[in-house]
A and B are shown apart, each in its own frame.
Chain A
């Protein structure tokens, strides 16, 4: 039995169940938020619940028969569809939490556009390379564009937004700063898994490497989606408490 295939299959199940649990948590704990911050619960729920639906669709790909066969089918399209829907929601949560969605509309549009470009070019890079649809240079160029877009999001979350937060003093400033600091780390280190995983498979297309990458992606999804939503949700709980003071 291929132990790597078995582990990848089980970690998929683990992430799937964790996403369901997180979705329930965000719904059941909704009462802790004031009406101003209820939308944070909705966005956090949508992030994980939509991932649950896509993970359900990916179930067949993580069947042991498929993962153990020499010609493994990877759920590339499903992963990218999930990211296309979930990542804008994740990024938008902080803008709602901080109220920047009203005052920094251009930043919101820039962030979401960069995110869209990052995922679309990432998909073209991966699918053209793995299906040999275009030249290797085309795949690398697509990857480079996606990578630059990701760097743009990193800049917004680690440099631009903290600066803007300092310029808008409020009683929530300290908590929003803490929240943004953690989100920045997730965007830098958590999201870096995906370009790294894709880049490595350009130079090592073996099945074992691809299976390990899928396994790492399962945990990447787990920490990034649940972590991102959970931190924003807990910050919203704290901001709700601040309202009462």
Chain B
């Protein structure tokens, strides 16, 4: 199990934490990390259909 597997879990956990915890500067950090994990999740998955060897 690598980091990529944990990213979607992190996305959800950070979002829930941001809603539940008191709203302060830490909320901004949580939301930033949530967005980052979401972006990396999508970005690291869009290349799964690439087949560089065959394309060449």
A interface residues (Cβ-Cβ under 8 A, vs B): 4, 7, 175, 178-179, 182, 185-186, 188-190, 192-193, 196-197, 200, 204, 208-209, 212-213, 215-216, 219-220, 222-223, 226-227, 230-231, 234-235, 237-238, 241
Interface pair A185/B51, CB less than 8 Å apart: no
B16 within 8 A of A: yes
Q: Which A residues lie within 8 Å of B19 (CB)? A: 196-197, 200, 209, 212-213, 216
**Known interface pairs A192-B12, A241-B51. Does A216 touch B45 (Cβ–Cβ under 8 Å)?**
no
Q: Are the C-beta atoms of B48 and A182 separated by less than 8 Å?
A: yes
Q: Are B49 and A189 in contact (CB under 8 A)?
A: no
**Interface positions of B (Cβ within 8 A of A):** 8-9, 11-12, 15-16, 18-20, 23, 27-28, 31, 34-35, 38, 41-42, 45-46, 48-49, 51, 54
Q: Are A193 and B12 in contact (CB under 8 A)?
A: yes
Count of chain A to chain B residue pairs whose CB atoms are closer than 8 Å in the complex: 77
Interchain CA distance A182-B54 in the complex, whole Å: 23
Q: Contacting A175 at CB < 8 Å: which of B16, B42, B49?
A: B49
Contact A189 B34 (CB under 8 A): no
Inter-chain contacts of A231 with B (CB < 8 A): 45-46
Most A C-beta atoms less than 10 A away, residue of B19, B27, B34, B35: B19
- Bound complex: CA of A189 vs CA of B28, how far in Å? 21
In the complex, given contacts A197-B19, A208-B23, what are 19 additional A-B residue pairs having Cβ atoms less than 8 angstroms apart? Answer: A4-B27, A7-B31, A179-B49, A189-B8, A189-B9, A189-B12, A192-B12, A193-B12, A196-B16, A200-B16, A212-B27, A215-B31, A219-B34, A219-B38, A222-B38, A226-B42, A227-B42, A231-B45, A241-B54
**Contact status of A223 and B42, CB under 8 A, knowing A196-B19, A204-B20:** yes
User: Is B23's CB under 8 angstroms from A196's CB?
Assistant: no
Within 8 Å CB of B28, what residues of A?
Answer: 7
Expressed in whole angstroms, the minimum distance between the Cβ of B2 and any Cβ of chain A is 14
**Cα A56 to Cα B27 with chains together (Å):** 27
Kindly report which residue of chain A lies nearest to residue B38, judged by CB atoms.
A223
Q: Which residues of A contact B45 (CB under 8 A)?
A: 182, 231
A215 to B46, CA, bound (A): 25
Tell me whether A237 and B20 are in contact in the complex, defined as CB-CB below 8 angstroms, given that A219-B34, A219-B35 are known contacts: no
Q: A196-B15, A196-B16, A238-B49 are in contact. Are A230 and B42 (CB under 8 A)?
A: yes
